[in-house]
Amino acid sequence: MSVDSVDLPVLPPLEPMLAKAQAKVPDDAGVWSYEPKWDGFRALVFRDGHDVVLQSRNGKDLGRYFPELLDALREETSARCVLDGEIVVPREIGGRIRLDWESLSQRVHPAASRVKMLAEQTPSHFIGFDALAIGDRSLLDEPFRVRRQALAEAVTEKQWCHVTRTTEDPELGAQWLNTFEGAGLDGVIAKKLDGPYVPGKREMVKVKHARDADCVAIGYRIHKSGEGIGSILLGLYRDDGELQMVGGAASFTAKDRLKLLADLEPLREGDERDGEPSRWNSAADKRWIPVRPEKVCEVAYDQMEGNTVHGQRFRHAVKFVRWRPDREPRSCTFDQLDVPLNYDLYDVLES
């Protein structure tokens, strides 16, 4: 759908309002509204009758990847509105409905036939958390408390389109940081009740989990420049004694890339191996070099994903903290990881 097809008081392309990271949930009662932080694809919805534009955070068209969501937005939202929210894919995991990042990430595919198949197999939902316009009225300058009420009125049905829960209670907001992780969410967002919607500005606060783990270095990739380490592949031991890859640490300085290569190159074991292709960059070189599992490193991470404990991986890239020469590789097991509470996704939505 072309952006020229909609005639609304707020038009695409538009940068969404952003959040700055903070270590603790702000506790100024009466100042903030708190809501769960959804871990999906950020999306702005521009609906003008039958015409719907689904815009990504960086201004790209997402509609081609989520055709079933375009239909749902036509059925379940006000005829003329601009909404801010998140695209997610919920699935039943362990008897509970949870967000499934793996299924969501697979939805971005160049082949129309595969998009059609996945739209049927893993249909997406839209979680609304702000309203930018209703009818002919822009809400950008209105306080969040007004926009929130407009959002509740704009989502007319709640089968595929939903409104996130909010609270003005700072204690409950802080509690949600841990409670809702079990449903696949990854933190808490705080918005000023009297604040306007400021596109492209970090006017919200986000609080995510901060955790650490000791992992075994099982391999590395050379940096795209050809000099030093680009990423370190990490593993944890399962109960059956098998070493399972759980993700990688990256984003090193030029100096650290060379130092880390000097640390790992003596442990090189065998030839380069092929890795999984990147979903986001099909041209990315995913070959990696295995090393003997003799070095342990401490890493900082926020969240795991996976259907079972031994099927878990780091959801996002992790940060290398330091080598741990005092740790034995065999002591790096899954039982050091936090196990989130088992929570159902629909408990996170407004009833």
Predicted structure pTM score: 0.77
What confidence score (pLDDT) does residue 88 get? 95
C-beta separation of 124 from 88 below 8 A: yes
d(Cα 335, Cα 217) in Å, to the nearest integer?
18
Look at 308 and 205; give whichever has higher pLDDT.
Answer: 205
Dihedral (Cα; 132, 133, 138, 144), 10-degree rounding: -40
Instruction: Name the burial class of residue 351, with classes exposed (0-12), middle (13-18) and buried (19+) by CB atoms within 10 angstroms of its CB.
Output: exposed
What's 329's DSSP letter?
Answer: G
Q: Which residues pair with 291 in a beta bridge?
A: 268
d(Cα 71, Cα 285) in Å, to the nearest integer?
37
Q: Binning pLDDT at 50, 70 and 90, where does residue 285 land?
A: low
d(Cα 108, Cα 60) in Å, to the nearest integer?
12
C-beta separation of 219 from 233 below 8 A: yes
Q: Could you identify the residue written with the tokens 């002919």? A: 136
Choosing from 37, 191, 208, 295, the catalytic residue is 37
Q: Considering only CA atoms, which of 240, 243, 250 is closest in space to residue 291?
A: 243
pLDDT, one tens digit per residue, over 181-222 is: 878 788 999 999 999 999 999 999 999 888 889 999 999 999
C-beta separation of 77 from 117 below 8 A: no
Active site residue 259: no
pLDDT, one tens digit per residue, over 87-134 is: 999 988 777 888 888 889 899 999 999 999 999 999 999 999 999 999
Q: Which residues pair with 42 in a beta bridge?
A: 86
